[in-house]
Amino acid sequence: MPLYEFYCADCRAKFEVLSPYAKAKAGEVVCQQCHGTRVRKLLSVFAARRGGDGEFGDGYDFGDEGGAGGCACGGQCSCGGH
């Protein structure tokens, strides 16, 4: 079952729900904090690693960034990118 991220327009909370696609699409999800129904599904982003040598195949090597880790946070998170 996929994990979807939602935003509540009533209380401005962001939350995640394990939900079948049909239920998430139909708008049957209510806010976990205020139980409001003005909830919309957010577009979730994720990082994917391609290849095993640190290169994306376009000639740009993230390994030469001086410890930046090649991730959006500049190596400040625990994503293991550095």
pTM surpassing 0.85? no
Token output for 55: 């290169």
d(CA 58, CA 14): 36
Which residues, 6+ apart, have CB-to-CB distance to 36 below 8 Å?
8, 9, 10, 11, 30
* Residue 32 reports pLDDT greater than 70: yes
Backbone angles phi, psi at 14, to 5 degrees: -110, 135
Strands (E) across the chain are located at 3-8, 14-18, 39-41
Give pLDDT tens digits for 9-24. 999 999 998 888 888 8
pLDDT (tens digit per residue) in 35-65: 999 999 998 777 666 655 555 555 555 554 5
CA–CA gap between residue 48 and residue 13 (Å, rounded): 27
